[in-house]
Amino acid sequence: MKQIESKSKRWPGTVTLSDPMTLPQVIAFEKALQDSGEFFEDKDGSRVLKPKMMWGGPDAAYIVGVLACVEKWELEGFPKKVSSDNFPATPRKDSHELVQWLFGEILSVYAGEIDIPNE
């Protein structure tokens, strides 16, 4: 488990992430990555994600991966049991920043310290 401190002024508190992630969580997270956009190679050779145009932006895809990987929500003003049906989507700026931050934190658990070869 990995407990992280929310940087959101609107929703202060903590979130506990699965660490290590289970295979079903990895599958949900990878699907969220795939559903959120398309990867392309940048000029310097790095992989960049171009978000798909969709209602709710990439957050709509990211939230599925986030929900699969969060063990415990302890954020002020948040539902007791968080789901895609009740995840606060407004105000958009605050919600977007929270989803992006959580997805990034989960990405660091997912990626770890080394790259896994594509076998």
Res. 113: pLDDT tops 60: no
Mean pLDDT for the chain overall:
87
More confident residue, 55 or 77: 77
3-state secondary structure of 30: helix
Query: In percent, how much of the chain has pLDDT > 90?
Result: 67
Q: Which of 93, 99, 26, 8 is nearest to 62 (CA)?
A: 99
- What pLDDT was estimated at residue 112? 86
The predicted model scores a pTM of 0.80
Res. 6: pLDDT tops 90: yes
3-state secondary structure of 73: strand
Give the start-to-end residue ranges of the domains of the chain: 2-111
